[in-house]
Amino acid sequence: MLDAIGVGSVDDLFAEIPGELRLAGKLGLPAGLSESECFDQLASLAERNADAESELCFLGAGMYDHYVPALVDAITQRSEFLTPYTPYQPEVSQGGLQVMFEFQTAISELTALPVSNASLYEGPSSVASAAYLAIGATKRRRLVVSRGLHPHSRDTLRTYARGFDAEVVEVGLEGGLTSADELQAAVDSETAAVFVQSPNFLGAVEELEQLASVAEAAGALTVASVDALTLGVLRPPGECGVDIAVGEGQQLGGRLDFGGPSFGFFCATEDHLRRMPGRIAGETMDAEGRRGFVLALQTREQHIRREKATHNICTSQALNALGGVVYLAWLGKRGVVELGELLVRRTAYARERLAELDGVELLHDAPVLREFAVRFEAPVPDVLDRVAAEGIGAGYWLGREYPEYDDGLLIALTERRSREDIDRLVDALGRAISDANDAFSPRSEEGASRPAEVPS
């Protein structure tokens, strides 16, 4: 090969790198491993994690331990879906393009908004992408955000807003729900969009229609972050006056994967189609009249429009979105309703059982679907450590993100958490709260200085 090129050595191919910039020695990395050694090393790392197979998981806060059907893995692991690039050559990418079209149809149907893109990175950055659209559409730069929006979404929005030169104003919660009065006061003629989430971070189902009407009256857009898996049961954002619905897609057949990769979705009313971020597949015909699919409206995109693009995204989450549409087909029209109903009833059961415990009260009594918040009369991190020692991940401590709910815990249900599991959780929490209070009471000198022992 070197002869064909006309050089004497591989070094000659790197001759244009100036001597002083060449790496003097070797890369300071360990030697390569055989496949079996590598597997063993990764397996031993994995063993040091308490995953949802080894403990009973009631953690949610945006990602949920739903069952991933075997079918989803089988299809997403096919070479033909796993290994191609973005479909720049549509004649040999009809499979992937049609998947995008089906995905858009499914998400649009769930949200009852007419246009959807083919995925974004994940939930919170999709919220921030909606802000970019809203600023472009309204030429306004004020973003009004409910405190019920996921803290990661609010933080991401603030990060992006510095680039957009936009102001972010937060609206508080009342009884677990976005305060309509505060929202009314915060929204003005400079407001580009109002950002809400339903169910919100505390699990409460928001009065979307009422909130959207406040935004609309001021000429601002309403952006709702929604949990797509709840939309078999909940009134969809498109029927509530919402202009843009975004969300995290992990719930739809995605693994937990310690937070990613998953996918984000982005749907809107028709008038925002040409400002949408990300890839969009469109239906068309070939030269002989056959039905086919292509990347539509590419003039929005960075590879064509460069600095005038509606977004900078290139690599998105096509494979995860495929998993999402396969999951929705697996669940089907009846399954998505049944699953929603099962979650509502299991959540109601768990919430009532928890509220009966001494030292536990509901953080709010707004309607909930799959997740709810309680308050403990005991230090939450200590209680969590105690139940973790029994192999239970009881939920998400609200204190880190919400100082006002320092005593709060967010508990999530999925179809994998049976009544028996819930009873076990209630039982363990009851004991842990009581033990924690004993340990921290002034009468127990020894316990007060000794945190619970937890195997790491």
Which positions from 376 through 405 interact with other proteins, judged by CB under 8 A?
384, 388, 393, 396, 400
Q: Is 266 helix (H, G, I), strand (E, B) or coil?
A: strand
Which of helix, strand or coil describes residue 25?
coil
Residues numbered 58-87 forming contacts with other proteins, rule: CB under 8 A: 59-63, 65, 69, 71, 73-75, 77-87
Nearer to other proteins, 190 or 219 (CB): 190
- Of 151-180, which residues contact other proteins (CB under 8 A)? 152-153, 155-156, 158-160, 162-165
Tell me the C-alpha to C-alpha distance, in Å, between residue 98 and each of 153, 242, 293, 324: 30, 27, 6, 14
326 sits near other proteins (criterion: CB under 8 A): yes
Interaction residues for other proteins, span 186-215 (CB under 8 A):
205, 207-209
> Does 355 help bind other proteins (rule: CB under 8 A)?
no
Which of these ranges, 177-185, 186-194, 230-238, 433-441, lies near other proteins under the rule CB under 8 A? 230-238
Rounded-to-integer distance, Cα 95 and Cα 117, Å: 17
Nearest-approach distance from CB 442 to other proteins, in angstroms? 28
Q: Is 185 in the site for other proteins (CB under 8 A)?
A: no
What's the min distance (Å) between Cβ of 439 and other proteins? 19
Query: Would you say 102 or 227 has its CB closer to other proteins?
Result: 102
Part of the chain binding other proteins (CB under 8 A), chosen from 26-34, 180-188, 427-435, 442-450: 26-34
Integer Cα distance of 24 and 12 in angstroms = 16
Nearest to 417 by CA among 119, 183, 137, 66: 66
The correct pick among 56, 130, 132, 187 for binding other proteins (CB under 8 A) is 132
When the beta carbons of 159 and 184 are compared against other proteins, the nearer one is 159
| Calpha distance 331→335 (Å, rounded) | 5
**Binds other proteins (CB under 8 A): choice among 174, 415, 427, 435:** 415
- Say whether residue 238 binds other proteins (CB under 8 A): no
The SS3 of residue 138 is: helix
- The H or E element spanning position 196 is strand 191-198
CA–CA gap between residue 125 and residue 248 (Å, rounded):
9
266-325 residues in contact with other proteins (CB under 8 A) are 273, 279-288, 290-299, 301-309, 311-320, 322, 325
Q: Which residues contact 363 (CB under 8 A, 6 or more apart)?
A: 176, 202, 372, 373, 374, 375, 398, 405, 408
Q: Which helix (H) or strand (E) holds 5?
A: helix 2-5
For residue 326 the two structure tokens come to 């396969």
User: Rule CB under 8 A: is residue 449 a binding residue for other proteins?
Assistant: no
Minimum separation from the CB atom of position 352 to other proteins (A): 10
17 or 448: CB nearest other proteins: 17
CA-nearest of 147, 179, 172, 143 to 158 is 143
Closest CA to 109 of 205, 252, 211: 252
Please identify, using beta-carbon distances, which residue of 218 and 389 lies nearer to other proteins. 389
Rounded distance between C-alpha atoms, residue 372 and residue 308, angstroms: 43
* Distance of alpha carbon 428 from alpha carbon 436, whole angstroms: 12
Q: Give the separation between CA 243 and CA 111, rounded to whole angstroms.
A: 11
Check binding of 22 to other proteins (CB under 8 A). yes
Phi, psi of 249, rounded to the nearest 5 degrees: -105, 5
Single-letter code of the amino acid located at 148:
G
> Which stretch in 103-111, 172-180, 357-365, 371-379 sits in contact with other proteins by CB under 8 A?
103-111
Among 180, 218, 330, 430, indicate the residue that binds other proteins (CB under 8 A): 330
For residue 98, state whether it binds other proteins (rule: CB under 8 A). yes
- C-alpha pair distances (Å), 415 with each of 254, 341, 391: 14, 10, 19
* Residue choice 56, 110, 145, 360 for contact with other proteins (CB under 8 A): 110
Rounded to a whole number of angstroms, the minimum distance from the CB of residue 379 to other proteins is 14
> Which H or E run includes 225?
strand 221-226
User: Which residue of 184, 217, 419, 450 would you call a contact of other proteins, by CB under 8 A?
Assistant: 419
- Candidates 20, 358, 445, 446; binder of other proteins (CB under 8 A) is 20
Binder to other proteins among 149, 229, 336, 357 (CB under 8 A)? 336
Of the two residues 24 and 443, which places its CB atom closer to other proteins in the complex? 24
DSSP summary character for residue 204? B
Total number of residues that touch other proteins (CB under 8 A): 204
For the bound state, the minimum distance from the C-beta of residue 12 to other proteins, rounded and expressed in Å, comes to 8
